[in-house]
Amino acid sequence: MTQSIKIDPFGFREYDARWIYEKDINEQGITNLGKGLGTQIKQHTKKENPRIIVGHDYRSYSEKIKLALIKGLVSTGCFVEDVGLSLSPMVYFAQFNLDADAVAMVTASHNENGWTGVKMGIKKGLTHAPEEMKELKEITLNQNFTKGKGNEKQIKDFDKVYKEDLISKNKLKKEIKAVVACGNGTAGIFAPDILRGIGCEVIELDCNLDWNFPKYNPNPEDLEMLHAIAKSVKENNADIGFGFDGDGDRVGVIDNEGNEIFSDKIGLLIARNLSNSHKNSKFIVDVKSTGLYSTDKILNKNQCETLYWKTGHSHIKRKVYNEKALAGFEKSGHFFFNQPLGYGYDDGINSAIQVCHLLNNQEKKMSEIMKELPTTYQSPTMAPFCKDEEKYNVVNEMIKEFKKIKDQKIKIDNQEIKEIITVNGVRFSFEDGSWGLIRASSNKPSLVVVTESPTSDERKLNIFKFIDETLMRTGKIGEYDQKI
């Protein structure tokens, strides 16, 4: 008996696809996704047999899912080149290195066990944006598939090529002692080798692969993971601590004193460092990022411009590409380095390397470099539950609500809103540089809430309380994943 096709339409998200395996999608559904993607790649490349790089992360079921995906791709005429167990950035790199037409990486990144997904892209260095996802969804659900004669081949030892590419360009002059934490995710077989290769002394933390994630999910925004790194940094008297997510495209950073540094602040430090040798550059940051970029004296002195843009690796990557920016930084830890520093895609290990260069260029400890930035009080990224089918409507309500508050000059914690950015949800800023953000999560049934104040911790809390009360009045909000 042939298996019926199961594929939940909500799995097609803004810039990748994510499902709970077997509950929301089954193997036959994955094969149809492969047929849809293969059809789409052929339409875009106008090739009968486009070459597509495929890899998978270290979850127990990822290889099985990859094989089901490949079956679909091959049936449309794609020539699949399988690089095996990979990080997302290794698959992106392979597209450049092997000059292929497209990529498909089987991963659910840092999502809990049970989740699966695919990150995919056609144009080199870019991943699907909402338009391509919508197109893929329509092809797949309507089963408008092309047929062809494809094939597949294994590319052996490509991990060595990827590692060597990063090591050869990035040798350090001085040894940096780094705690490298991988939360038992796939980065464990990449990050320690590469960082040792450039000249770091590496202390490994949870780098053995274990798809049960026995301690916590490999998510560098997760406070539990960050606290474990901080403890190890202090115990080992390390210069820096790095935490990588499940598929290696994001990094979290802990300074030598064990303080977590939100990735947007790391981005600002890297941007400052780069601006000295790349004057008049452009940087792209997401709407969850610190307000300090727009007022930074070093970036201004070096005549660099910063644009705030939509959160999401695909959006920032594309904006960096379209604006020919030198780099892009996302608060979640996705960093994008354009030529000559990288190929434009997000690679958590390359991001960690750029932090090592920062330490390599200065005779200062990370905590001292951090103190050169103005102090701000930032909340972590908080995600209150909100149904997928309701979250965008709730956000639209919030945009209207906060525009009304601004127009009517209603004060929040004794200040009026002076600016509203609506490229992605609503980000509202005050005279003193404090701000709050509400947007819909792109890959989970939740909203995203962030606040920051350069004035005081209390002000940060008051802005959050106002957001929380406003959201609760909608009646559509559930539990938060974490809360200040």
Q: Can you tell me whether residue 403 is helix, strand or coil?
A: helix
Q: Can you tell me whether residue 481 is helix, strand or coil?
A: coil
62 catalytic residue (yes or no)? no
Q: How far is 262 from 380, CA to CA, in rounded Å?
A: 8
Q: Could you tell me the CA-to-CA distances from 480 to 140, 287, 380, 446 in Å, in that order?
A: 33, 20, 12, 9
Catalytic hit among 75, 109, 263, 453: 109
Angle of helix 158-169 versus helix 88-97 axis, rounded to 10: 90
Q: What residues form DSSP beta bridges with 419?
A: 429
Q: How far is 140 from 64, CA to CA, in rounded Å?
A: 20
Q: Can you tell me whether residue 153 is helix, strand or coil?
A: strand
Look at phi and psi of residue 306 and say left if phi exceeds 0, alpha if psi is from -120 to 50, else beta.
Answer: beta
Q: Say if residues 313 and 347 touch (Cβ distance below 8 Å).
A: no
Determine how many CB atoms are found less than 10 A away from the CB of residue 209.
15
- Residue 338, φ and ψ in degrees, nearest 5: -90, 175
Determine how many CB atoms are found less than 10 A away from the CB of residue 47.
15
Look at phi and psi of residue 28 and say left if phi exceeds 0, alpha if psi is from -120 to 50, else beta.
Answer: alpha
- What's the N-to-C CA distance of the chain in angstroms? 52
Determine how many CB atoms are found less than 10 A away from the CB of residue 349.
27
Q: How far is 97 from 401, CA to CA, in rounded Å?
A: 49
Q: How far is 419 from 241, CA to CA, in rounded Å?
A: 36
Active site residue ranges: 109
